[in-house]
Amino acid sequence: MDVSINVLVVDDFATMRRIVKGVLKELGFKNIVEADDGSSALQELKKDDFGLIVSDWNMPKMTGLDLLKAIRADDKYKNIPFIMVTAEGQKDNVVEAIKAGVSNYVVKPFTPDTLKEKLEKVLS
Amino acid sequence: MDVKLINPFIDATMYVLETLASTKATAGKPYVKKNGAAQGDISGVIGLSGEARGTISVSFSEKCIAGIVSQMFGEEITGVNDEVKDAVGEITNMISGQARQRLEQEGRILKGGVPTVVVGKNHSITHITNQPVIAIPFESQYGGFSIEVCIEDSE
């Protein structure tokens, strides 16, 4: 797993960004950028090359699902691994995210080990 | 209100606090809330919609939430600050999500709204409804807290 990549963490709650960042740092990632919703994430994507996006689903202005769809529709970003970290664990949500091209799906709350395992799968 | 709707919220609350903050919570006996009961210093409230409508709230004393958030972040938090408010919103969001996932297994599909956080010494939450509000007290190593659930029966 290449830990030198830039990672974009997207969540409207600072608490969850902090928890996700904590796990990423434990795994050795150093280049972590935060955004508080999908539209600010798209602005961040323009500034640098990212090797991974970890995003919440429910956010104001632009949801994680809309962000995922926008990324998969854009030739510049469509191959970036995208992990959805969300409180929405209902079947319809998971199916919708898979259809939109999500790389993996983590239901909140999660243990650090669960997130690590999903990150390793996506980045190996 | 169908009492079978209550257990998923109790299970979700215990699961969220255990997974997120290594906090073991035990549920007391649920009761129908009368005015002024189930007070707290900080609460998260979330609306539910879909095949039934309702609200859930989670209320903590300052001491209890400081202990839980300290455990979550691995650093000592002494009072209610912006980080604690944010954490209560996220805890409420996760309890709503986990409970709805459990309700789905019983064939009940509900959607959750965006959480609101209320702060104030000994406040009480009013659920705007003509349905009974069920309060569930919990005990944890950081002190007591409570959740309140109010869901209209679906036809």
**Which phi and psi (to 5°) does residue A84 adopt?**
-90, 125
Q: Is A111 on the interface with B (CB under 8 A)?
A: yes
Q: Is A14 on the interface with B (CB under 8 A)?
A: yes
Exposed, middle or buried, A49 (CB in 10 Å: 0-12/13-18/19+)?
Answer: exposed
What sign does the CA torsion over B34, B40, B46, B51 have?
A: negative
Smallest CA–CA distance, residue B73 to chain A, in Å, is 8
Residues 6+ positions from B65 with CB-CB distance below 8 Å: B41, B42, B80, B84, B87, B88, B142, B145
A109 and B101 within 8 Å at the Cβ level: the answer is no
Residue B94 pLDDT grade (very low, low, confident, very high; cuts 50, 70, 90): very high
B73 and A58 within 8 Å at the Cβ level: the answer is no
Query: What number is the ipTM of this complex?
Result: 0.84
Q: Give the pLDDT score at A80.
A: 98
Residue B37 pLDDT grade (very low, low, confident, very high; cuts 50, 70, 90): low
Among candidates A14, A18, A91 on the partner chain, residue whose Cβ is nearest the Cβ of B104: A91
Task: Count other C-beta atoms under 10 Å from residue A15's C-beta.
Answer: 22
Residue B26 pLDDT grade (very low, low, confident, very high; cuts 50, 70, 90): very high
Q: Give the pLDDT score at B33.
A: 86
For the entire predicted model, the pTM comes to: 0.90
Length of chain B: 155
DSSP lists the bridge partners of residue A54 as A9, A83
Query: Is the confidence at residue A78, as pLDDT, over 70?
Result: yes
